[in-house]
Structures are given as C-alpha cells and as structure tokens.
Amino acid sequence: MTTNEPGPKHVPVMLQRCMDALAPAISRPGAVVVDATLGLGGHSEALLTQFPEVRLIAVDRDPQALKLSGERLAPFGDRATLVHAVYDEIPEVLERLGIDRVDGVLFDLGVSSMQLDEADRGFAYAQDAPLDMRMDQTRGISAAEVLNTYSHGDLARILKVYGEERFAGKIASVILRERAKEPFTNSARLVELVRNAIPAATRRTGGNPAKRTFQALRIEVNGELEVLDRAIPAALDVLALGGRMVVMSYQSLEDRLVKQYFAAGATSTAPPGLPFVPEEHQPWLKLITRGAELATEEEIEENRRAAPVRLRVAERIRDRSKRG
C-alpha cells in the first residue's frame, strides 16, 4: 500500500552521526548545505532543525519524493530550496541559484525508503510489481525494457559487474530463453526464474537469490555508478575550504568509488624523495573517517536498512586551483 505521508516508519540512516560529521562546517550563519539525495527529507529536516541558520539546497531525481519532502519541509520556508535534478547536476543547480561554494554536502546513496515501500515502483523483490525501477519515472528505460531488449552479453555484464552475481551468464541465458516465450513485465516471474537458475546449495545462504539481479537492474536503469562517478568530484569541486562531505553507501561498488576519490584528494602527488612537498602537490582533502564507519548494532536493530551502510567523511583543507 502506498502512502502520501512520510510517516514514523521512515527512519533516516545514521541521522545523528551525519549531523555531527557536518557540524564543524555548517555551524555558522550563512552556511549552505546540499542534500544530494533528498528522498523523504529526514536528513534535510534534521539539518534545518539542528542548524537554524543553515540554508539548504536539496535535489532529487524523483518527482514524488520532491512533492512529499516539499510538504515536510514547508515550515522552514525559503531556508529550503528543493530542485528536481540528478546529483551529478549539483554544480549547474548551484550556478542557477547564484551559489559559488557550499559548506556541506550529504549523499545518502541507493534506493530510498519510499521507493522500496511502494510496490508499484518495482524495486523490491519481495513483492510482485511492474518491473520499472526508475527513480525518475518521467524519463529513461524501465527494468522490463532492459530484460526484454539487451543482448546476452550485455545482460551477463551488468549482472556480473553491478550485481556481483557469480551465475550471471546462466541467468542471462534463462532470461533470453524465457523472454522469447513471453516478454517480462512483473517482478515475481523474474524472482522465480533467478531462484531456479541458481544451484540449490547456493540458494541456502545469502538471503534472497534475486537480490543481486535486482540491484544490477536498478543500477543499470538509473545509471547509478556513472552518475556517482561524475557527482563525487563535481561536489568536491564546489566545497568551500573547511567544508565537509558525508557519503553513505550501501554496496561495495558505490563505496569503492567514494573511497577512491577521497583517498586521491587526501594523498600527496609529489614524487617520492623530495625534501619538501610543493603547495600544488599537497593533499587537499582530509579524511575525517579512517576507513568506513558502520551503523551500530542498536541502530541496525531499530532500522534493518542501516545494516549494509558504509559512511565516509572528508573535509576540504586546501584550494587546488594550482594543481592543474
């Protein structure tokens, strides 16, 4: 059943940890913070509440999320600006708003609670629904179109790379065979097909065997990794000196990308053996988290969606205009 209210069941992941991580950068008059993944607005509401002088710019590609969050954040008036955009478009969004630099950026990656909870979006493998999976249903191709039109090679590739699925080739073969009989439209048929394609011994561990296939389709349909690969460096570029970025990832492919960008910015580019490191080769990011932080056992008990989260925080410590 769908709902038009955010409701108490929506529990933002690692909420207070995110606020504490951003606090040193945004606890001042005139600070600007970007919520790159607005969703149902839980993190944004906390930012506006806990930091009463902050201005919030929040983006989401899902029009329904913007509508619901707009209602939730309406009491904050013009302190909150909500924009329909994908998060790799943050620099363009800020330019249109006349903002050069921001003091904080928050990414809560992956699929939102609302998208998972609404059966007709097709994100959840636990209930039968149309195979859509688009975060923005006004554009792009659906998961059903991917299943019904991609070649065996392309299907196997996305299942292996995006789903880290060991049986990608076998599942792709079964998909091609079955779609020749009847095109795919709903999720239950795909779940059953994947379950039957995977050896029984493997099915006994690791949860629902369709989980990896659904993850792969969702990432492909929404171009998630390509978008993230553009979004992280773009957002770091608009971060002011002393500004902080918080990123929460829910699967290893996302976390690996974030880790690579943060590590690159926090590492000297000078050749080894120099008696001193020239300014243009100095690290320009400082890692606030050493490695990725996990949710506490207590939070996971309260909110199962926090179980896979990996949180990383970086701070801009130097301008890199000289680096070329």
Instruction: Write the pLDDT tens digit of every residue in 245-254.
Output: 999 999 999 9
What distances in angstroms separate CA 190 from CA 48, 166, 267, 278, one per listed residue? Answer: 42, 17, 45, 56
Mean pLDDT of 195-211: 80
173 has a pLDDT exceeding 50:
yes
Q: pLDDT grade, residue 113 (50/70/90)?
A: low
Residue 108 assigned ligand-binding role: yes
Mean pLDDT of the chain: 89
187 has a pLDDT exceeding 80:
yes
Q: Which residue has the higher pLDDT, 176 or 117?
A: 176
Q: pLDDT grade, residue 118 (50/70/90)?
A: low
Answer yes or no: are the C-beta atoms of 257 and 227 closer than 8 Å.
no
The reported pLDDT for the residue numbered 322 is 45
The reported pLDDT for the residue numbered 3 is 36
For residues 81 and 34, what is the distance between their CA atoms, to the nearest angstrom?
A: 10
Neighbours of 242 (CB within 10 A): 13
Span of 27-36, 112-121, 275-284 with lowest mean pLDDT: 112-121
Residue 115 assigned ligand-binding role: yes
Q: Which residue has the higher pLDDT, 314 or 278?
A: 314
Residue ranges and CATH numbers for the domains of the chain are 15-108+224-316 (3.40.50.150), 122-222 (1.10.150.170)
Q: pLDDT grade, residue 60 (50/70/90)?
A: very high
124-146 residue pLDDT tens: 666 788 999 898 888 889 999 99
Q: Which residue has the higher pLDDT, 302 or 56?
A: 56
Mean pLDDT of 33-37: 97
- Residue 265 gets the label, from left (phi > 0), alpha (psi -120 to 50) or beta, of alpha
Residue 87 assigned ligand-binding role: yes
Residue 43 assigned ligand-binding role: yes
Neighbours of 192 (CB within 10 A): 11
179 has a pLDDT exceeding 50:
yes
Lay out the sheet containing 310-316: strands in order across.
Answer: 80-84, 55-60, 32-35, 102-108, 239-249, 310-316, 285-287
4-30 residue pLDDT tens: 333 344 679 999 999 999 999 999 999
For residues 108 and 113, what is the distance between their CA atoms, to the nearest angstrom?
A: 11
Cα dihedral sign for 153, 154, 155, 157?
A: positive
Q: pLDDT grade, residue 110 (50/70/90)?
A: confident
